[in-house]
Chains A and B, each alone.
Chain A
């Protein structure tokens, strides 16, 4: 049953900001490609939360967009992991430190 709870919007947005920033810190901090992907997923979740929170005020579109974000995240995760897999096959590592062929 859809609930109308405008009082939670502010705190929800704040939480979303915090989670997003934790995700950013994780992306910058870790060298393991898989962990980096996980942090990206975390960021996407934070964005989902934002959409839902704003949806309280702006109608159902917020929740619909969440749906799309999720499917895009799925697609991105699949393709990204496939890429990491093929790199792993060549370099036997998922450490980003070794992915430096663009150097120069």
Chain B
């Protein structure tokens, strides 16, 4: 496919006409949402139809994207192709059309979203088959993909924001999918509200950009930003800092990451699609899109890289002591997103996007694999009517015998995420760390970020190997009665796993560096999109001896971490969850995620609640609005009525006086 994409040059016109079909890629999932929604409303038991339509529209969208990619791929695009659908906002000088932008970056994202999305839809057919809300699930999932495509295709910040908000909504709907349990509904609410804080940052950034540059379209920003912000670094720094706030919300970085671990309350394929491969990467995509702004504001880029590095190590340490398999993967996602931001913050946008892609592959594989495991555990507990937690790793163990395919694939993904040489994760993670180190030469703080990144890599390898050891190796702890019911997942679930496995292994081919004889294909492919930033603040890569030293260090950390993880876990005595003792010491702090949720609760949530209750409710709502407004209006009416009734004395004399006074006035007016 790579060779085809670089084949005979076609004219830009053919590419543009092919791009015009992209509306279909968005319309298909949208139609899927409507149809599945209708089915969910009126005929929820029509599962066969939903199984066809749900994944079907995704495969259709993927086909459209492939067709467009084939047409556009053969052309060397200097500027994006804009597909204008209709005029959206027209208010004074502000004119924003609903338009899609097709260029190399959006094509990469489109392939990831529709490709990985299709695989996850197919997996869901097996995973969710016994659920009563089957149709509703696919409706929401399709809506999510439609919104994500709008996000990725948007040609201006407001259009991107539509998708941004839409995926936030779908995330809420899907996290709280099993809403009858209040904890799930609360998790959905938490995700949405924390996201909202980030959205506020996004909006303020849009306002600043509109004020300073006068345009919100990406293409125009790339051209006009350098001139508009001439000598006004404070403004562009402010705008980018607010964009960073938006990114920390959507992509779960410090300080707004707390929603993502809670989001594991949703079905596992949802975690795979939304909270691993697509939605959480929206922040990285946004930074890559607005690369010119970040290049103009080196301070913001440093802040972004710092947040990324800090989050990477922070989340990685928490993952060391979590026992729920999905929580480990959740913190792993937060940590890996930190890597991506470290990459784009250092100016290595290609490395960041590359890691986005490889992470989509192996993280989706990890989540779906854990979904298989949970599916089997759930089935086993269901058969024996046990109430143990099917997601707790302390109840697993030795599953490699019962689920060999899942085991092999998850092991491959683990090796990839740890950075085992020649797997996809190795290349992408290595490139990020190398770029960070290289920038340290000009800005020494990046050396610190590099060190944090290496430490996080070590922890990543450790906790991932711990996960594999606890789940698949050793003796089975599920229970004698449950053990016979543990078996491999059906082919509809393992099929997508295999595809993802292949991509995990071979993903490095997308951007092979020179030292293994590659041509940095992705870098060349994305070069026109990232040119505006590269002109101002080019990405740096180390060469020669430094490069080999860094590679060596990374490999050592990876292999060492993997061995350490295996060794520590296989040596430890693990008991099933209900018999386990409570954590002590620093492990306890890690297990309770550094008590961040509790701190936020005390510092932010409770004061806000108190303020709402005392001031906003009692004084504003009850006192002013109810008292003055509603009741006050009533009192005013009654008062006026009372005054008016003073005229109704029933005394003819008074009536006569008033009558004659009126007549006097009339005469006065008439005889002027």
A and B are partners in one complex rather than unrelated chains: yes
Q: Does A86 have its Cβ within 8 Å of any Cβ on chain B? A: no
Contact present for B645 and A31 (CB under 8 Å): no
Query: Max chain A CB contacts within 10 Å: which of B645, B650, B660?
Result: B650
Of A1-9, A75-83, A95-103, the one touching chain B: A95-103
Determine the interface band of chain B, counting residues with CB < 8 A from chain A.
10 to 19
Residues of B within 8 A of A99 (CB): 650, 652
Contact present for A96 and B652 (CB under 8 Å): yes
Contact present for A28 and B652 (CB under 8 Å): no
Contact present for B651 and A100 (CB under 8 Å): yes
Contact with A along B647-663 (1 / 0, CB 8 A): 01111110011001000
Contact present for B650 and A28 (CB under 8 Å): no
Instruction: Give CA–CA (A80, B666) in the complex, Å.
Output: 26
Contact present for A27 and B656 (CB under 8 Å): yes
Instruction: Give CA–CA (A74, B649) in the complex, Å.
Output: 31
Instruction: Give CA–CA (A82, B653) in the complex, Å.
Output: 20
| Given the contacts A24-B660, A28-B660, A100 and B653 also touching, CB distance less than 8 Å | no
Contact present for A96 and B651 (CB under 8 Å): yes
Q: Does A104 have its Cβ within 8 Å of any Cβ on chain B? A: yes
Residues of A within 8 A of B645 (CB): 104
Contact present for A100 and B650 (CB under 8 Å): yes
Instruction: Give CA–CA (A31, B653) in the complex, Å.
Output: 8
Instruction: Give CA–CA (A104, B647) in the complex, Å.
Output: 9
Residues of B within 8 A of A96 (CB): 651-653
Residues of A within 8 A of B651 (CB): 96-97, 100, 103
Which residues of chain B (369-397) have a CB below 8 Å from chain A?
Answer: none
Contact with A along B626-663 (1 / 0, CB 8 A): 00000000000000000001001111110011001000
Contact present for B660 and A102 (CB under 8 Å): no
Instruction: Give CA–CA (A96, B650) in the complex, Å.
Output: 10
Chain B residue nearest in CB terms to A33: B652
Contact with A101, one of B650, B653, B657, B660 (Cβ below 8 angstroms): B650
Interface of A, helix, strand, loop or mixed by DSSP:
loop
Contact present for A102 and B650 (CB under 8 Å): yes
Which residues of chain A (48-102) have a CB below 8 Å from chain B?
Answer: 96-97, 99-102
Contact present for B650 and A104 (CB under 8 Å): yes
Instruction: Give CA–CA (A97, B656) in the complex, Å.
Output: 13
Residues of B within 8 A of A24 (CB): 660
Instruction: Give CA–CA (A96, B645) in the complex, Å.
Output: 20
Contact present for A28 and B657 (CB under 8 Å): yes
Instruction: Give CA–CA (A28, B660) in the complex, Å.
Output: 9
Contact present for B652 and A103 (CB under 8 Å): no
Contact present for A28 and B648 (CB under 8 Å): no
Residues of A within 8 A of B656 (CB): 27-28
CB distance from B655 to the nearest CB of A (A): 9
Contact present for A100 and B649 (CB under 8 Å): yes
Instruction: Give CA–CA (A70, B2) in the complex, Å.
Output: 114
Residues of B within 8 A of A27 (CB): 656, 660
| Given the contacts A28-B653, A31-B653, A96-B653, A103 and B648 also touching, CB distance less than 8 Å | yes
CB distance from B657 to the nearest CB of A (A): 6
Instruction: Give CA–CA (A31, B654) in the complex, Å.
Output: 11
Contact present for B650 and A103 (CB under 8 Å): yes
CB distance from A74 to the nearest CB of B (A): 22
CB distance from B567 to the nearest CB of A (A): 96
CB distance from A82 to the nearest CB of B (A): 17
Q: For the A-B complex with A96-B651, A101-B650, A103-B650 known, give 14 more contacts whose Cβ atoms are closer than 8 Å.
A: A27-B656, A28-B656, A28-B657, A96-B653, A97-B651, A97-B653, A100-B649, A100-B651, A102-B648, A103-B648, A103-B649, A103-B651, A104-B645, A104-B650
Identify the 8 closest CB pairs spanning chains A and B, nearest first: A103-B650, A100-B650, A102-B650, A96-B652, A104-B648, A100-B651, A103-B649, A28-B656
| B interface list, Cβ under 8 A from A | 645, 648-653, 656-657, 660
| A interface list, Cβ under 8 A from B | 24, 27-28, 31, 96-97, 99-104
28 interchain pairs (CB within 8 A)?
A24-B660, A27-B656, A27-B660, A28-B653, A28-B656, A28-B657, A28-B660, A31-B653, A96-B651, A96-B652, A96-B653, A97-B651, A97-B653, A99-B650, A99-B652, A100-B649, A100-B650, A100-B651, A101-B650, A102-B648, A102-B650, A103-B648, A103-B649, A103-B650, A103-B651, A104-B645, A104-B648, A104-B650
